[in-house]
A and B are shown apart, each in its own frame.
Chain A
Amino acid sequence: MAQTRIVLPKTAKKGEIIEIKSLIQHAMETGHRRDNMGLAIPRHIIKSYRVTYAGEEVFRAELFPGVAANPYFSFTTVATVSGDVVFTWEDDRGTVVTETVRLTVT
Chain B
Amino acid sequence: MAMGARSDHARVDIARRRLLVGAGGLVLGPCLLPLAATATPEAMDAAVRQVVGTGMVRPGRVKLEIPELAENGFSVPMTISIESPMTAADHVRTIYVFSEKNPLPNVVRFHLGPRAGRARVQTSIRLADTQRITAIAAMSDQSLWSATADVIVTLSACLETG
Main SS class of interface, A: strand
Digit string of B107-143 for contact with A (CB within 8 Å is 1, else 0)? 1111111011110111111100000000000000000
Q: A34-B35, A67-B125, A73-B123 given as contacts; is B116 within 8 A of A58 (CB)?
A: yes
Q: For the complex, would chain B's binding face be called helix, strand, loop or mixed by DSSP majority?
A: mixed
- B111 / chain A contacts, CB cutoff of 8 Å: 57, 59-62
Q: Are B162 and A33 in contact (CB under 8 A)?
A: yes
Chain B residues bordering chain A, tally (CB within 8 A): 38
- Nearest A-chain residue to B112, judged by Cβ: A59
Report which of A31, A36, A40, A67 forms a contact with B107, defined as CB distance below 8 A: A67
Q: With A and B bound together, what is the CA distance between A37 and B4 in angstroms?
A: 10
Q: Are A68 and B126 in contact (CB under 8 A)?
A: yes
- A residues touching B (Cβ–Cβ < 8 Å)? 17, 21, 30-38, 40-41, 53, 56-78, 80
Known: A32-B31, A32-B36, A64-B104. 13 other contacts (CB 8 A): A21-B122, A30-B36, A57-B113, A59-B111, A59-B116, A64-B107, A68-B76, A69-B75, A70-B75, A71-B123, A73-B122, A76-B117, A78-B115
